[in-house]
A and B are shown apart, each in its own frame.
Chain A
């Protein structure tokens, strides 16, 4: 099972909106609504930001939102803040009954 495809890096300025993409296949992202997104700061454990494509866990700011179209899932951060600078990973359930992560995207807040 290949990893999901994420851009290596993105950047944005404070206050902007930014969208991360996560591309898979009909055997994972496109076939199931079990896509989740994680934020990871250096030296820290990952933190769940979005699950089931678009649901936000309690305590996660409304600035984070998720969506999916076909085989591509997206995470959008609105009103970018300096503390949003981190690595972001997508994850999907797959048709072979396993889970797969994307390679991760490094977000730089300029």
Chain B
């Protein structure tokens, strides 16, 4: 079965860190760029970050997370990561990983993992 499965979400206090994972199975992973997209409760989609297929040439971030979040990948394990530091209440959201079919057309999405930043 072709799927992406996120994990690592939870409740965390402001200023703390969290690491999200996204495991791919049944679909090609190492040849495609990967994105993280988030959605605050009741709100719209917000692009977070992208990493190139090789994990080295391109890593880009939304201004809202630049300097605090780090995207990475392990192609040997078909896994994508998002290291989130200095978390803020406004980072509370469902975090989705997604595969980039072409220039941002995200063809496979995970089911999401919920991150809640609260004291």
Which residues of A are in contact with B by a Cβ distance under 8 Å? 1, 3, 32-34, 36, 38, 40, 45-48, 50-52, 55, 57, 87, 89, 91-93, 97-104
Tell me whether chain B's interface is mostly helix, strand or loop, or mixed.
strand
Q: Which B residue's beta carbon lies closest to that of A52?
A: B102
Across the A-B interface, the 5 shortest Cβ-Cβ residue pairs: A51-B105, A34-B103, A45-B109, A99-B47, A104-B44
B84 interface hit (Cβ, 8 Å): no
Q: List 12 A-B contacts (CB under 8 A).
A: A1-B62, A3-B44, A34-B102, A46-B37, A48-B107, A52-B102, A52-B105, A55-B105, A91-B104, A98-B60, A99-B35, A100-B47
B70 within 8 A of A: no
Instruction: Flag if A101 contacts B101 (CB, 8 Å).
Output: no
CA distance A84 to B76 in the complex (A): 39
Given A97-B60, A98-B62, A99-B50, A89–B103 Cβ distance below 8 Å? no
